[in-house]
Amino acid sequence: MRKTLRETMLENYAALCQMADLHGKPRPPLPASLPAAPVKRVSKPRTESNVPLEKEVQASIIKFLLVHPRVALVVRHNAGAMDARDNNGKAYPIFFHKVYKHGLRIVDLDVTLKSGKRMVLEIKRPGWHLKPHDTREQEQKAYIEFHKAVGNLGGFVTSIDEVQLIMECG
C-alpha cells in the first residue's frame, strides 16, 4: 500500500534525527507543515443483517453463470473513472467504459450465451424497488430495453432465481 505524505515526512524526519545524533548535533524541529493523521474510514453497520449486500448477490450470480451450461462468457463492468496526467502534468479522466449512445448506461454484467444471444444484467440488493428511481437507473433500464429490442435478454435482478427466469423466458 502506498505511504501517505505524513508517513514519508515522519520517516525523513526520523532519518534526519539519526544523522544529527550520529554527528552530535541538535535534532531538527518537527516540520510545521506535517499533515494531520488521516481519518480512518468506518464502514456503515448493516442495518438489515439478513439482507445480503449487492456485492454478495453479484458474486453468487457470477458463480452461477460461470457453471451454467448455456453460458459462454461473463463480463463484469465497473463504473467510474480515474484521473491520469499528460506529459505537461494536466489531469484528464480515463473512463473504465463508455457508451456512445446518449441516454444509455452500461450495466453490471454482460453475458454471452452459447446460442449467440447476449444477456445484460443490472444486479441490485434484495428488497430493491421495482422501478428505476434516479437518472443512473433510468439509463441502465434504457440500456436493458435497447438490448431487448434487438433480440437479446436482460433485466434488473436481485437473485439467481430472477436470472434463471430471464434465461427461460428469452
Q: Which residue has the higher pLDDT, 40 or 28?
A: 28
Q: What is the pLDDT of residues 51-104, one digit of tens each?
A: 888 899 999 999 999 999 999 999 998 776 778 888 888 888 777 777 777 788
- Decide if 104 contacts 139 (C-beta within 8 A): yes
| C-alpha–C-alpha distance, residues 47 and 88, integer Å | 47
Whose cell is 518537527? That residue is 30
Side-chain half-sphere of 165: how many Cα atoms within 13 Å? 8
131 vs 11 pLDDT, higher one: 11
* CA–CA separation, 53 and 164 (whole Å): 20
User: Which domains occur in the chain, in start order?
Assistant: 1-40 (no CATH), 54-169 (3.40.1350.10)
* pLDDT of amino acid 71: 96
Q: What is the mean pLDDT of the chain?
A: 87
Range with the largest mean pLDDT of 30-34, 43-47, 90-94, 117-121: 117-121
Output the pLDDT for position 89. Answer: 84
Helices (H), 85-149: 135-149
pLDDT range class, residue 143, cuts 50, 70, 90? very high
